[in-house]
Amino acid sequence: MTHTPAAPLAGRVRHARPRATRRGRGRPLLYLLPAAAVLVPLFGYPIYMLGLLSVFDYRQAQVSGGEPTRFIGLGNYATLFGDERFWSILLQTLVFAVALVVVTLAVGATLAVVLTRAGRWPRLLLSLAAMAAWAAPAMTGSTVWMFLFDADLGLVNQVLGLDGFNWFYDKWVAFGVIGATVVWHSFPLVMVTLYAGIQAIPHSVREAAWLDGASEWQSFWRIILPILRPLVTIVVIQSIIWDFKIFTQIYVMTNGGGIALQNSVLNVYAYQTAFGSSEYGLGSAIGVVMTLILLVITMFYIRALYRTGERL
Partner 1 sequence: MAHSSPAPSRALPRLKSVVIAGSAYVIALIFLFPYVIMLLTAVRPQDTLREATYLPSAFEWSSLVEFWSGGLAGNLVVTLQVAAGSTLLVLLVALPAAYYTSRHNFRFRTGFLFLVLITQMFQPTAMLVGIYREFFQFGLVDTVWALILVNGGFNLAFAVWILNAYFSSIPRELEEAAFIDGNGRFGTLFRITLPLAMPGVVTALIFTFIAAWNEFAVALMLTTTPANQPLTVALNSYIGQYQVDWQGLFAGSVIATIPVIILFALIERKVVNGLTAGSIK
Residues 238-267 close enough to bind partner 1 by CB under 8 A: 238, 241, 245, 247-248, 251-252, 267
Pick the binder of partner 1 from 34, 66, 68, 73 (CB under 8 A).
Answer: 34
The residue range among 4-12, 76-84, 85-93, 171-179 that interacts with partner 1, by the rule CB under 8 A, is 4-12
Pick the binder of partner 1 from 13, 73, 84, 164 (CB under 8 A).
Answer: 13
Q: Are 233 and 305 in contact (CB under 8 A)?
A: yes
Q: Binders of partner 1 among 62-121, rule CB under 8 A? A: 111, 114-119, 121
Pick the binder of partner 1 from 204, 217, 303, 308 (CB under 8 A).
Answer: 204
Q: Binders of partner 1 among 128-187, rule CB under 8 A? A: 128-141, 143-145, 147-148, 152-153, 155, 158, 184
The residue range among 8-16, 73-81, 97-105, 257-265 that interacts with partner 1, by the rule CB under 8 A, is 8-16
23 makes contact with partner 1 (CB under 8 A) = no
The residue range among 81-89, 93-101, 164-172, 289-297 that interacts with partner 1, by the rule CB under 8 A, is 289-297
Distance CA 199, CA 111 (A): 14
The residue range among 34-42, 66-74, 77-85, 168-176 that interacts with partner 1, by the rule CB under 8 A, is 34-42
Sort 40 into a burial class: Cβ within 10 Å, 0-12 / 13-18 / 19+. exposed
Other beta carbons less than 10 A from residue 184's beta carbon = 21
Distance CA 165, CA 152 (A): 8
Pick the binder of partner 1 from 42, 95, 102, 162 (CB under 8 A).
Answer: 42
Distance CA 210, CA 285 (A): 54
Q: What is the CA radius of gyration of the chain?
A: 25
Instruction: Tell the smallest beta-carbon distance from residue 128 to partner 1 (Å).
Output: 7
Other beta carbons less than 10 A from residue 224's beta carbon = 22
Of residues 138 and 173, the one with the C-beta less far from partner 1: 138
Distance CA 199, CA 220 (A): 13
Beta-carbon contacts of residue 168 (< 8 Å; ≥ 6 apart)? 149, 174, 177, 253, 254, 258, 263
Pick the binder of partner 1 from 89, 100, 112, 189 (CB under 8 A).
Answer: 189
Instruction: Tell the smallest beta-carbon distance from residue 268 to partner 1 (Å).
Output: 8
**What would the DSSP string read from start to end of 134-202?**
HHS-HHHHHHHHHHHT-TTT-HHHHHHT-TT--TTTSHHHHHHHHHHHHHHHHHHHHHHHHHHHHHHS-
The residue range among 41-49, 75-83, 85-93, 95-103 that interacts with partner 1, by the rule CB under 8 A, is 41-49
